[in-house]
Structure 1
């Protein structure tokens, strides 16, 4: 019992190291960052200065090392103007992790001391964190457009940083821009109270005015949550509550706000389960179609792909998910990318709790878990069931952590938490999560610290049958986290709605090109049932049971090739390509050139590549300029086009 009490009362741990940063963050950590950016959006260039306030956390240091990726570094100097020497090297020359910026300090600094220095650099179109879009690539076609995407370890392409979720810092920024290139600029921070500031109007260039905006983020955040968007965009409220807002191109604002009318209710549904939202306001940015992911939870400024806007509200689970990150991911953060499930598994868990509270449709939640499990298993097969990438603790030493990105931390993480909840009990688990948020607010932790807290909480609260629950929690913990492949415990998400979807697939397959009797049932299905049906169709195609005549009859009845909901459309295209259908290549190429969301384009490219590699490459080349750098890189991997990159 004494040993147990000692283990439960341990509050301080040495967290896991981050293998994806070249910075000496164990010796020195940045406390505040200030960015000054002069945007030249037409020329795809940003002139930059970043200033830092480092604190020594080790015994002593005489240099600072930071992460960079294809930044043009011009000078490094102390706040007093003293120039510092710097070098750049490549610890992994055959990797695309980036480079290490080594800054030699003027003297030795000791634990607790602060170091204030600045770096002059520039960002250009080689950046993989900034997407520079021409005005022709936007909806309104009046101004160029830029947006950032920094998760996982891509913020090193935005500024020299300790690009690790271990380190959290406050930040401020001054952004200078031409009024002819951007109607507005927003960042993942609060805007200054002042209106736009006019700097000057050059006499010889009377066609534009330089303006600037100032931003401040008072809450310490990891570098991957720094974000910017600029272009012909406007900000409008989505409700009368004063907390939720939309940013989009002005021609989309009316339709988007109509679909997002329940954003305040989403927020309240999450708060009902987990507690109050502490970040102030919440703004959702609907990005251009080339945005590479469904959503990105930048604090105060969530980014989302327009595929979530279906006109029916069927894609708004992404909105709830990104809101939920305000608690898990932004408030409590994984200490490194091997612990990504600390961000994503918890967020999926909270998303589904809030969705159940808001929509009151238990079958939808179960089916979404089944769909997520299917996607997770497909990703596991892609990595290999024995690959550590199919575990909740992937090892990305020497690699870009993006290489391990998948649905696994989302869905295996969710299932792990659902399993723990089944042991602890729903009410106690909910209260534990609330206490967990209080204990680790604005900190970064690993899975071991979560385990320690869970056991400590249950012990201190004297929950019923603590010894038995502790045994069950620890019995499979390491298998859940470290073992590759499927979870060690299979959870039951079955529902009659699942059987209906499977029976519907069977009806079409057995009709063998004829119209089945109950073909119209599809139009009464839950949105998740439609996804289950199309996932099952893909499985039938893999088993060579989906024939061209069945595909043609389905498309005639259900108009799936013309589907406007991309969650359904990409699953349809993946299934028919797997079945060997080459008759819809034109529509598939058009689809791949109209959406840049990786979840939707990667599976279609994989299926297309297996069916016709040459056409897949041709399609990619036709649309390459449309894709975000992250998506472009992943598609090249799928098609076997990626070459070694020397930083």
Structure 2
């Protein structure tokens, strides 16, 4: 999942703190892209319920994919073929339509009566959001189609990282980012969450690198230059994933492991060791883990987001490795997606809240069980406050859970709404019904819709039959509809509160009075709250004292560093400013670098410096990072 950008804890101060911890920990983009509808030449009638795909899967479905790819780091492209089984839902269909974007299609074959035969295909007119439809002619009795193709070096869904951008600095790295509609940039595919498919894969890589996919990867693979994969559980297209790099392997247990570059692996293992406890907690609450494995892959620092929940191979940013497990809500969030999103999937991007709201809810329940109620409440409180700050920056349309996307870019759905408003809705239901009723409901929901997709309307029907009807006086359907279809927050929204922040405020008052305070046992949330509440006129002397006592400029915690550098820029605190360049040129995680760039860009002198730094950093940034930073620096229009 991706990270959105609510970067204000209070209106008086720019800080990352208000980014919901589910999103600092995990993956929506920030800010939501401009609400641009598709161009006029786009088809008027959508062939499926998903308006963000050209696929005619309501006529011909592709239930299984075999992918064979050669990984070429020199030309920065994938070359090979995608072979699909065909399932005719309409016996009269003579065409299969796939989504593509900047793919070179060399030829297409169909398998019929035991043999492969060339068939005709056509690429339609390109749409700037949806890409280009690929229409393949099939004849009666066709069992498969095989599409020979290569990707473009500019594929949005692939990041080709040069050696200088990796931890080891010796070998290149490749990773994908397919959500929400970027799988079509590296595979010709029916790119819609409405459908699911199983897949097998084979990768040909340089012999000194390890190849992985979001599938059942063989544990601790040897470096042979050829790798095979199998995913027997059907997944939506946005969960297709590939990674190739210089990787080592560490098994946490017989079904969980961590992959990372050799120099990163030990720190990653120490940071993510509690994943096994998180897994046990989630299974006890919400049902068995339904996938073969749960491996985690630490990506290079250019990865734009906190994490991506690819089944059986979750992608994680190295910026979460703080040395104290302070940012591991990321791990809880991506793990929670194994139930919410991966197992039960939103049918369209209008229904994104069903993925991310349930995931944010389950994540908080995991954090409570593993790290205690107070930490979980702090995260809920900060999330709720961030949502309130973000609402004025969103249109009324964007404030609705069941968002009316029409044919706008699906990335516009990734705001705080499907994460935090939806999380609050589920906590509202929990508080009304109590966990003794709500937990079994959620567990049964995951079981009943496992390996299936669901729309908001279907969920409302299920909710009414399986929860509301049990206690008709607790929650009305009108209240549910207000949550789902109205902008803003209902008056019934729960308000999480925790005493820890009152203690921080009191400690801050003593600190400014000259008293030394001990923050060694403070959580990241308490430290961040302390920084967020600094007065506008904080003095250089107090900043220097704070820096020395709390070790802010030299912190390993990138979330705190991002917040501190914004403060340093705003107050021209010179001792911290050299770290600004170091940070912005060493990572591409949007949740952390965006507020720093924004703080620089607030003044003419800072904007000039920011553009200078960006020129240095730009080659190492992911294309999605470049797109958003260039808007901040006024190098392109939104």
TM bucket normalised to smaller? 0.7 to 0.9
Does the CA-based 8 Å contact 1:54-1:116 persist in structure 2?
A: yes
Residue 126 of structure 1, aligned match among 148, 154, 158: 154
- TM-score (norm: length of structure 2): 0.86
Secondary structure of the 1:524 match is coil
The correspondence of residues 136-175 of structure 1 with structure 2, limited to 5 A, is 136-175=164-203
Question: What is the CA–CA distance in structure 2 between the aligned matches of 1:370 and 1:90, rounded to whole Å?
Answer: 48
- Alpha-carbon displacement from aligned partner over 1:122-177 (angstroms, at most 9, x marks no partner): 12320111111122222222321111111111111120111111110001111111
**1:410 equivalent in structure 2:** 419
**1:432 equivalent in structure 2:** 441
1:276 aligns with 2:276: no
- Number of aligned residue pairs: give it: 588
Secondary structure of the 2:450 match is coil
Question: What is the CA–CA distance in structure 1 between the aligned matches of 2:600 and 2:397, rounded to whole Å?
Answer: 27
- Alpha-carbon displacement from aligned partner over 1:338-396 (angstroms, at most 9, x marks no partner): 2111111111111111221122x2111111012222333444344x3x34223323344
- Alpha-carbon displacement from aligned partner over 1:534-557 (angstroms, at most 9, x marks no partner): 3334xx5xxx45555543443233
**1:566 equivalent in structure 2:** 558
Relative to 1, partners in 2 of residues 1:29 and 1:379: Cα closer, same or farther, differing over 3 Å?
A: farther
Relative to 1, partners in 2 of residues 1:56 and 1:534: Cα closer, same or farther, differing over 3 Å?
A: farther
How far does residue 104 in structure 1 lie from its aligned partner after superposition? 4.1
- Alpha-carbon displacement from aligned partner over 1:279-309 (angstroms, at most 9, x marks no partner): 1221111111111111111111011001111
Relative to 1, partners in 2 of residues 1:637 and 1:22: Cα closer, same or farther, differing over 3 Å?
A: farther
- Alpha-carbon displacement from aligned partner over 1:243-298 (angstroms, at most 9, x marks no partner): 21010011222232233332211211111211221212211111111111111111
Question: What is the CA–CA distance in structure 2 between the aligned matches of 1:607 and 1:390, rounded to whole Å?
Answer: 26
Does the CA-based 8 Å contact 1:20-1:396 persist in structure 2?
A: no
Does the CA-based 8 Å contact 1:388-1:482 persist in structure 2?
A: no
Relative to 1, partners in 2 of residues 1:35 and 1:54: Cα closer, same or farther, differing over 3 Å?
A: same
Question: What is the CA–CA distance in structure 1 between the aligned matches of 2:454 and 2:586, rounded to whole Å?
Answer: 39
**2:299 equivalent in structure 1:** 287
Residue 134 of structure 2, aligned match among 102, 108, 115: 102
**2:67 equivalent in structure 1:** 35
Question: What is the CA–CA distance in structure 2 between the aligned matches of 1:403 and 1:260, rounded to whole Å?
Answer: 31
1:444 aligns with 2:453: yes
Segments of 5+ residues of structure 2 without an aligned counterpart are 1-45
1:85 aligns with 2:120: yes
Relative to 1, partners in 2 of residues 1:155 and 1:116: Cα closer, same or farther, differing over 3 Å?
A: same
Residue 335 of structure 1, aligned match among 334, 342, 347: 347
**1:5 equivalent in structure 2:** none
- Alpha-carbon displacement from aligned partner over 1:462-483 (angstroms, at most 9, x marks no partner): 73xx2212xx242222332233
- Alpha-carbon displacement from aligned partner over 1:75-126 (angstroms, at most 9, x marks no partner): 222124433333333464xx3x24222324144x6xxx76511111112320
- Alpha-carbon displacement from aligned partner over 1:302-336 (angstroms, at most 9, x marks no partner): 11001111111112221111111111111001111
Does the CA-based 8 Å contact 2:55-2:190 persist in structure 1?
A: yes
Higher mean C-alpha deviation, range 257-266 or range 56-65:
56-65
Secondary structure of the 1:265 match is helix
**2:35 equivalent in structure 1:** none
Question: What is the CA–CA distance in structure 1 between the aligned matches of 2:220 and 2:263, rounded to whole Å?
Answer: 26
- TM-score (norm: length of structure 1): 0.85
**1:366 equivalent in structure 2:** 377
Does the CA-based 8 Å contact 1:90-1:98 persist in structure 2?
A: no
Question: What is the CA–CA distance in structure 1 between the aligned matches of 2:442 and 2:258, rounded to whole Å?
Answer: 29
Residue 344 of structure 1, aligned match among 356, 359, 365: 356
Secondary structure of the 1:160 match is coil
| RMSD, aligned CA | 2.6
**2:496 equivalent in structure 1:** 493
Question: What is the CA–CA distance in structure 2 between the aligned matches of 1:504 and 1:282, rounded to whole Å?
Answer: 41
Question: What is the CA–CA distance in structure 2 between the aligned matches of 1:377 and 1:194, rounded to whole Å?
Answer: 46
**1:187 equivalent in structure 2:** 213
Does the CA-based 8 Å contact 2:59-2:89 persist in structure 1?
A: yes
Specify which structure has the bigger relative contact order, considering alpha-carbon pairs within 8 angstroms and separated by 6 or more residues: 2
Relative to 1, partners in 2 of residues 1:90 and 1:373: Cα closer, same or farther, differing over 3 Å?
A: farther
Question: What is the CA–CA distance in structure 1 between the aligned matches of 2:72 and 2:124, rounded to whole Å?
Answer: 28
